[in-house]
């Protein structure tokens, strides 16, 4: 296979402090649906056909466990794995994936900054698609904070076949399908999750989702607005109970090989940066910015580690 590449983003797996509480939030407030539970993991689907778009893992530390990508077929998975080996990446041979995850065939690979990725094909799809537009249909994009943008860019483009879409000065937007960006890399002091965006069918559906979140007392962290930047999508950002930044998005640019990539200067000079229009929150709240910087998760992990140390000290002192 001349040029094997991934062709889509399946979803993300997150380590959380309280599996039951996090699953309840993503079901009740974020409108995903539980499709399976296995040990310390819960699998949640969106309204679209993908088997699941979010896996929650009960762990002592919160963070990203894995980002999952689609390849068209087993031959593509094998070809991508061979490419990974040729490029010197450490990876196990592709294998059959677990039934509770929708099965399929895939392998794992680690980015230069340590994020675990899985490439898979033949994962079971749902025959039913929920027409309720107030529910997310899939994961549209994942934004990763990166200390070494060049290294991460090279990995995603050379290894997985991503194409450069745009740069806004501090973020690179890259695509693996017609969707303007399935991954973006944000300049940062270290690797963490910037945010994960769930796609809504249209603006009306997105506003209904935002309403559901606000009625449940979850503060809107930024938006509702439309980015005057790469992707030009409608956005609304929230912070989940763990401290992860999550987004409802819709109307992301769909592009082809004729798309002309722009520089940060182009986007910076557009009027009304960073929003073409914005509603309740013109700018991200300080807490939203901390979440996008991975700071809330880091602080929660540090606080938990400190409380464990204190508990051990108290026990030894007693």
Q: How far is the CB of 291 from Fe ion (least distance, A)?
A: 13
- Closest CB 245 distance from Fe ion, rounded Å: 9
Q: Which stretch binds Fe ion (CB under 5 A): 192-200, 211-219, 266-274, 285-293?
A: 192-200
Q: Which residues contact 215 (CB under 8 A, 6 or more apart)?
A: none
| Closer CB to Fe ion, 123 or 197, in the complex | 197
Structure tokens at 13: 């797996």
Q: Which is nearer to Fe ion, 13 or 247 (CB)?
A: 247
Report whether the peptide linkage leading into residue 238 is cis, meaning its omega lies within 30 degrees of zero.
Answer: no
Q: Which of residues 231-270 bind Fe ion (CB under 5 A)?
A: 247
Strands (E), 17-103: 33-38, 41-45, 54-58, 63-70, 95-96
Nearer to Fe ion, 240 or 247 (CB): 247
Candidates 167, 197, 200, 246: give the one binding Fe ion (CB under 5 A).
197
| Residue of closest CB approach to Fe ion | 197
**Residue 144 binding Fe ion, by CB under 5 A:** no
H helix intervals, 130-173: 149-154
Distance separating alpha carbons of residues 97 and 36, to the nearest angstrom: 15
Task: Report how many residues bind Fe ion under the rule CB under 5 A.
Answer: 2
Of 159 and 197, which has the nearer Cβ to Fe ion? Answer: 197
In the complex with Fe ion, the residue whose CB is nearer, 121 or 233, is 233
One symbol per residue from 267 to 296: x for binding Fe ion (CB under 5 A), - otherwise; what is it? ------------------------------
Q: Least CB distance from residue 139 to Fe ion, whole Å?
A: 11
We find the least distance from the C-beta atom of residue 214 to Fe ion, in angstroms, to be: 19
Spacing of C-alpha 210 from chain mean position:
18
Residue 230: C-alpha distances to residues 72, 85, 165, 197, 268 (Å):
27, 33, 8, 14, 11
User: In this structure, are strands 41-45 and 171-175 parallel, antiparallel, or unpaired?
Assistant: unpaired
Nearer to Fe ion, 16 or 245 (CB): 245
Closest separation between CB of residue 11 and Fe ion, Å? 15
Q: Which stretch binds Fe ion (CB under 5 A): 54-62, 94-102, 194-202, 256-264?
A: 194-202
CA atoms within 13 Å, Cβ hemisphere of 241: 20
To Fe ion, the closest distance from the beta carbon of 230 in angstroms equals: 10
Q: Cβ closer to Fe ion: 197 or 291?
A: 197
Burial label, 313 (beta-carbon count in 10 A; 0-12, 13-18, 19+):
exposed
Query: Could you give the CA distance from residue 10 to residue 176 in angstroms, rounded to a whole number?
Result: 12
As a whole number of angstroms, the distance between CA 51 and CA 81 comes to 23
Positions that interact with Fe ion (CB under 5 A): 197, 247
């Amino acid at each position: 296979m001349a040029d094997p590449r991934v062709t889509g983003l399946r979803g993300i797996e997150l380590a959380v402090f309280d599996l039951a509480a996090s699953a309840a939030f993503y079901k009740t407030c974020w409108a995903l649906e539980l499709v399976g539970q296995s040990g310390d993991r819960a699998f949640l689907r969106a309204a679209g056909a993908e088997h699941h778009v979010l896996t929650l893992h009960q762990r002592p530390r919160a963070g990203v466990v894995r980002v999952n990508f689609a390849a068209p077929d087993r031959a593509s998975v094998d070809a991508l794995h061979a490419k990974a080996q040729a490029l010197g990446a450490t990876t196990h041979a592709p294998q059959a994936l677990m039934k509770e995850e929708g099965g399929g065939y895939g392998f794992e690979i680690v980015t230069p900054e340590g994020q675990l990725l899985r490439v898979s094909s033949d994962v079971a799809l749902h025959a039913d698609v929920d027409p309720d537009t107030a529910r997310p249909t899939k994961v549209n994009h994942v934004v990763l904070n990166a200390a070494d943008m060049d290294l991460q860019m090279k990995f995603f483009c050379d290894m997985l076949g991503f194409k450069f879409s745009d740069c806004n000065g501090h973020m690179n937007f890259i695509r693996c399908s017609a969707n303007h960006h399935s991954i973006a890399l944000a300049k940062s002091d270290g690797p963490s999750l910037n945010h994960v965006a769930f796609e809504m069918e249209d603006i009306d559906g997105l506003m209904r989702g935002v309403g559901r979140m606000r009625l449940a007392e979850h503060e809107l962290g930024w938006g509702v607005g439309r980015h005057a930047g790469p992707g030009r999508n409608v956005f609304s950002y929230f912070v989940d109970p763990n401290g992860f930044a999550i987004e409802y998005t819709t109307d992301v640019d769909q592009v082809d090989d004729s798309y002309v990539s722009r520089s940060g200067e182009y986007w910076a000079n557009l009027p009304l940066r960073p929003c073409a229009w914005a509603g309740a929150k013109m700018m991200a709240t300080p807490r939203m910015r901390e979440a996008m910087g991975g700071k809330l998760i880091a602080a929660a992990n540090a606080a938990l580690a400190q409380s464990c140390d204190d508990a051990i000290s108290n026990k030894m002192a007693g």
